[in-house]
Amino acid sequence: MKAILIVLLAAALAVGFTQPARISGLLVTSYGAPGADTITREGYTLLFYNLHPGFDTSTRRRLIDAFFQVYPIEVRRFNAKAARKVIFTIDPNYDGVAETSGNRVRISPLWLKAHPEDIDVVTHEAMHIVQNYTHPVPGWLTEGIADYARYTYGINNHNGNWWLPDFSAGQHYTNAYRVTARFFVWLEKNQHSGIIDSLDKAARAGEYTPQIWTKLTGKTVDGLWQDYSAHPQLELTYR
Ligand SMILES: [Zn+2]
Q: Residue 99 and residue 108: Cα distance in Å, rounded?
A: 9
At 131-165, the pLDDT tens digits run 999 999 999 999 999 999 999 999 999 999 999 99
The CATH H-level (homologous superfamily) assignment of domain 31-132 is Neutral Protease Domain 2 (1.10.390.10)
At 182-227, the pLDDT tens digits run 999 999 999 999 999 999 999 999 999 999 999 999 999 999 999 9
Centre of ligand 1 from the C-alpha of residue 83, in Å? 17
Centre of ligand 1 from the C-alpha of residue 140, in Å? 10
- What is the value of pTM for the model shown? 0.86
Centre of ligand 1 from the C-alpha of residue 177, in Å? 8
Domain segments of the chain as ranges: 1-30, 31-132, 134-239
